[in-house]
């Protein structure tokens, strides 16, 4: 029995293992140096204690192992009771299949498991546990009791691991494992524990992790006799998987987590990725809300973290950390779960396969502009109800009584009857009135890669004639505020758009699409070339990087030893300040390694160029221009964030406005 002779084993351990200072110091004068000692086999107990060092780091590790066992036993209800942050007691009770009386002592033995029997089982393992060492390791460093009653057994039996005593007790079907006084036999390790509050927080985190993966199981956590958290099973017969998952995530992580998040469902080859990911604006400074499960097991994995990061790259800048709960399901034979004693790391047969599946799963969802999915429900944060699967209503309908306005409604602005005019023909742009035009005029560029919301002019006109706001997700422009924001009315209420941020994204996506298609950016010669006094570095780069500049739609040539002239700029950026654009691009090229610049720094350069092409603050837009911008946003990937990851628009619902004015109270 694992616990018999623990004290003895511990003393032996201290005598032979260097690094346990008190004993070594006392024995120092009489004990031979470790190298002169004879080789001997370690006693079983000591082997278990050493193994326990890898498996049981702190109370939370015990919680994880015991929860794994409960889930492997098919439990639908698990209760965790703790004393002193789990240091004095961890008791985990389940209603799973139980352990037969005769097998109780076996369960505590090292390398004894019911989960695998041969190499093939190991390679295809689908249970949480399989190494058969958790209970043995836990027994080696605590005072453990195992209490269980399987179906068909009249009594439950309790096995005291320390004394080896086995006696009948009363219990319903299932198992309870009680772990008392963790590390009592290894005081050196006990010293490494943090405060009870910290250990408790780690234990709760462990339960949260498991709860996130199993919405079909109810969990409860008690500490010092108080109920800390209780999460009822949300996946019950008749309930859809994604809904149950969203509910469980809301219960465990808070409704404010789920609201600004998007559902993931993607299969690529043999890999399926599901779950929910936070919108870019929900990102945090810490990585504490990143949960990844592979075949149901919580893991930390660099490949997946990297894939997620690259999917967010274009919408989340700086050090912000996205939040996500991802479940990767794959053929177990393409995965090695037996590479880490606590099973928190895995190894994939094909890293690329996993990386791509995860990246594509997220990219696809992050790229879709969300304006079209705003539900009519009241919203607190931007885009909120759009994200909830429970609340998505793809075709917003006017719901607020005040929304349906009669023909007497004052006409604000005029309908954009033919949007293609705005995208395509520069002539239309020149017709725009420009009361104040200090900066380059805003160019409503041709865009709309996958027009989803563009209505025909006739449709829009019919709506307008009926006095109803056409169901454009971002609504109809009403006015411009302080030269910075566009105010628009949609069926839910008021939309506020940061016009520079939004336009910057539109231009950026357009530039990227052109470059990604393998063509050079369409270039437009300047009627009057722009000349500027260049630095020596600018001259060198302009000369060396002619090909790259050509790819970026720029033609920059030296006309003297100190002067460069810009002869052509990308057509998309035709209205921007050519000299500033040229200097910025030369600076970017100088900062990057010439040979790899186009691939690696491409997006950075394009983003910088887009900033030049985007309409500036304080530039007055006509209503038609504003409407054109709104329609472009609805049809541009990632248009909910600017190139720096900030939101480009916000919705203020009528209900929120009513609340502001205390209406209806
Ligand atoms: P492993 O989980 O790797 O098999 P453990 O040491 O955790 O190893 O558990 C040993 C065995 O004890 C398990 O294989 C299982 O048969 C049994 N067991 C442990 N906990 C439970 C439980 N809560 N319910 C039913 N059986 C259990
Ligand atoms: Mg186990």
At 361 the pLDDT is 97
Q: What is the pLDDT of residue 33?
A: 66
CA distance 439 to 580: 13
The answer to whether 144 and 178 have CB atoms below 8 angstroms apart is yes
Mutate to test the pocket of ligand 1, among 91, 121, 135, 140 (most ligand atoms within 8 A of CB): 135
- Nearest CA owner, ligand 1 atom 12: 107
Residue nearest to atom 2 of ligand 1 (CA): 129
Ligand with an atom nearest the CA of residue 148: 1
Does an H or E element contain 621, and which?
Answer: none
* Least confident range of 421-435, 444-458, 571-585, 597-611: 421-435
pLDDT at 123 over 90: no
Ligand nearest to the CA of 93: 1
In this predicted model, which residue has the larger pLDDT, 111 or 457?
111
Q: What are phi and psi of 176, to 5 degrees?
A: -125, 135
Ranges 238-242, 285-289, 513-517, 551-555: which has the least confidence? 238-242
Q: Residue 596: its pLDDT value, please?
A: 54
Closest by CA position to 354, among listed 308, 323, 322, 314: 308
Atom of ligand 1 nearest to the CA of 112: 10
pLDDT in tens, 487-520: 999 999 999 999 999 999 999 999 989 888 888 8
Confidence tier at 460 by pLDDT (50, 70, 90): low
Q: What is the pLDDT of residue 370?
A: 83
Determine the distance separating the centroid of ligand 2 and the alpha carbon of 354, expressed in angstroms: 27
Cα-to-centroid distance, 100 and ligand 1 (Å): 12
Which numbered atom of ligand 1 lies nearest the CA of 136?
6
The pLDDT score that the predictor gives to residue 394 is 30
Which whole-number Å values give the CA distances from 410 to 174, 464, 478, 480, 496, in the listed order? 70, 11, 11, 18, 20
CB distance 328 to 272 below 8 Å: yes
Q: Which protein residue has the closest C-alpha to ligand 1 atom 19? A: 69
Structure token pair of residue 116:
């695998």
**How far lies 58's CA from each of 46, 189, 386, in Å?**
18, 9, 41
pLDDT score at 461 = 53
| pLDDT above 70 for 211 | yes
Q: What is the mean pLDDT of residues 581-587?
A: 91
Three-state DSSP class for 512?
helix
Output the CA 83–ligand 1 centroid distance in Å.
Answer: 23
Q: How far is the CA of 108 from the centre of ligand 1 (A)?
A: 8
More confident site: 593 or 661: 661
The yes-or-no verdict on residue 106 having pLDDT over 60 is: yes
On whether the CB atoms of residues 271 and 330 are closer than 8 A, the answer is yes
**Distance from C-alpha of 579 to C-alpha of 569, rounded to nearest angstrom:** 10
Residue with the smallest CA separation from ligand 1 atom 8 is: 132
Q: Is the pLDDT of residue 19 over 90?
A: no
Least confident of 193-202, 338-347, 356-365, 526-535: 338-347
Q: How far is the CA of 96 from the centre of ligand 1 (A)?
A: 11
Give the lowest-confidence range in 123-137, 256-270, 336-350, 410-424.
410-424
78 within 8 A of 67, measured Cβ to Cβ = yes
3-class DSSP assignment, residue 447:
coil
- Going from the Cα of 9 to the center of ligand 1, the distance in angstroms, rounded, reads 25
Kindly state the average pLDDT of the residues 98-111: 92
**What is the CA(136)–ligand 1 centre distance, in A?**
10
From residue 199, give the alpha-carbon distance in Å to each of 89, 178, 206, 581: 12, 17, 11, 55
Q: Looking at ligand 1, which residue's alpha carbon is closest to its atom 25? A: 98
Question: What pLDDT score does 389 carry?
Answer: 32
Strand order in the sheet with 290-294: 261-268, 271-278, 324-329, 290-294, 297-298
Ligand 1 centroid–CA 132 distance in Å is 7
Lowest mean pLDDT among 35-49, 294-308, 424-438: 424-438
Q: How far is the CA of 41 from the centre of ligand 1 (A)?
A: 27
Q: How far is CA 544 from CA 54, 523, 558, 597, 609, in A?
A: 56, 19, 12, 13, 20
pLDDT of residue 466: 59
Q: Which atom of ligand 1 is least distant from the CA of 130?
A: 3
Q: Per-residue pLDDT averaged across 221-239, rounded? A: 92
Ligand 1: residues with CB < 6 A are 65, 69-70, 73, 94, 96-99, 107, 112-115, 129-136, 175
**Which atom number of ligand 1 is nearest to the Cα of residue 127?**
2
Closest ligand 1 atom to Cα of 70:
23
- The H or E element that residue 308 is part of is helix 302-312
Q: What pLDDT, on a 0 to 100 scale, did the predictor assign at position 35?
A: 66
Higher pLDDT, 404 or 553: 553
Alpha-carbon distances of 598 from 153, 588, 589, 601, rounded to whole Å: 71, 11, 9, 6
What average pLDDT does the structure give for the chain? 80
- Residue 665 has a pLDDT of 65
pLDDT for 176 beyond 80: yes
Q: Which of 107, 144, 151, 178 for mutating ligand 1's site (highest number of atoms within 8 Å of CB)?
A: 107
C-alpha triplet 343, 347, 348: angle, nearest 5°? 135
Which of 486, 505, 482, 483 lies closest to 496 in space, CA to CA? 486
Average the pLDDT over 365-382 and give the result. 61
Q: Which whole number is the average pLDDT over 307-313?
A: 92
Q: Which long-range contacts (CB under 8 A, 24 or more apart) does 20-24 make?
A: 20/188
């Amino acid at each position: 029995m694992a616990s018999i002779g623990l004290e003895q084993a511990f003393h032996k351990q201290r005598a032979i293992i260097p690094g346990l200072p008190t004993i070594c110091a006392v024995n120092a004068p009489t004990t031979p140096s470790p190298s002169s000692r004879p080789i001997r086999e370690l006693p079983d107990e000591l082997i278990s204690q050493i193994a326990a060092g890898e498996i049981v780091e702190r109370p939370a590790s015990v919680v994880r192992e015991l929860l794994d066992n409960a889930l492997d036993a098919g439990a639908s209800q698990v209760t965790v009771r703790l004393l002193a942050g789990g240091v004095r007691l961890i008791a985990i009770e389940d209603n799973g299949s139980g352990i037969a009386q005769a097998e109780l002592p076996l369960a505590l033995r090292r390398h004894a498991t019911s989960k695998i029997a041969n190499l093939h089982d190991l390679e295809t393992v689908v249970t949480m546990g399989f190494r058969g060492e958790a209970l043995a390791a836990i027994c080696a460093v605590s005072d453990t009791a195992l209490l269980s009653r399987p179906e068909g057994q009249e009594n439950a039996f309790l096995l005291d691991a320390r004394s080896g005593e086995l006696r009948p007790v009363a219990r319903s079907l299932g198992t309870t494992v009680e772990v008392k006084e963790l590390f009592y036999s290894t005081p050196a390790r006990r010293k490494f524990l943090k405060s009870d509050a910290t250990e408790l927080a780690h234990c709760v985190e462990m339960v949260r992790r498991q709860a996130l993966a199993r919405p079909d199981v109810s969990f409860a956590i008690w500490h010092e006799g108080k109920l800390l958290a209780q999460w009822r099973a949300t996946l019950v017969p008749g309930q859809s998987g994604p809904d149950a998952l969203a509910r469980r995530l809301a219960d465990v992580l808070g409704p404010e987590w789920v609201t600004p998040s998007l559902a993931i469902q993607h299969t690529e080859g043999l890999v399926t990725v599901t779950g929910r990911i936070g919108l870019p604006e929900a990102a945090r400074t810490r990585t504490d809300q990143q949960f990844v499960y592979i075949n149901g097991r919580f893991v930390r994995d660099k490949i997946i973290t990297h894939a997620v990061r690259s999917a967010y790259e274009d919408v989340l800048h700086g050090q912000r950390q996205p939040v996500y709960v991802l479940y990767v399901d794959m053929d177990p034979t393409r995965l090695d779960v037996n590479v880490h004693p606590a099973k928190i790391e895995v190894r994939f047969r094909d890293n690329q396969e996993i990386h791509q599946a995860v990246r594509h799963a997220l990219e696809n969802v992050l790229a879709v502009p969300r304006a079209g999915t705003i539900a009519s429900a009241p919203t607190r944060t931007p885009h909120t109800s759009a994200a909830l699967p429970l609340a998505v209503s793809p075709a917003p309908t006017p719901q607020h009584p005040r929304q349906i306005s009669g023909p007497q409604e004052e006409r604000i602005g005029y309908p954009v009857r033919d949007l293609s005019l705005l995208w395509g023909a520069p002539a239309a742009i020149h017709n725009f009135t420009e009361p104040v035009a200090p900066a380059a005029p805003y160019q409503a560029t041709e865009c709309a890669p996958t027009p989803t919301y563009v209505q025909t002019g006739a449709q829009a006109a019919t709506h307008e004639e009926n006095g109803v706001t056409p169901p454009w997700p971002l609504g109809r422009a009403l006015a411009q505020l302080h030269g910075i924001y566009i105010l628009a009315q949609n069926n839910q209420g008021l939309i506020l758009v940061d016009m520079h941020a939004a336009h910057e994204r539109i231009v950026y996506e357009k530039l990227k699409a052109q470059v990604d298609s393998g063509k050079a950016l369409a270039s437009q010669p300047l009627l009057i070339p722009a000349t500027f006094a260049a630095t020596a570095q600018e001259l060198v780069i302009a000369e060396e990087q002619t090909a790259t500049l050509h790819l970026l739609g720029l033609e920059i040539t030296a006309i003297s030893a100190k002067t460069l002239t810009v002869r052509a700029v990308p057509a998309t950026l035709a209205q921007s300040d050519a000299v500033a654009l040229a200097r910025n691009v030369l600076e970017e090229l100088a900062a990057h390694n010439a040979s790899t610049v186009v691939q690696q720094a491409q997006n950075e350069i394009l983003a910088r160029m887009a900033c030049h092409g985007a309409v500036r603050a304080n530039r007055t837009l006509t209503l038609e221009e504003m409407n054109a911008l709104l329609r472009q946003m609805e049809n541009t990937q990632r248009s909910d964030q600017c190139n720096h990851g900030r939101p480009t628009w916000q919705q203020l619902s009528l209900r929120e406005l009513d609340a502001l004015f205390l209406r209806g109270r």
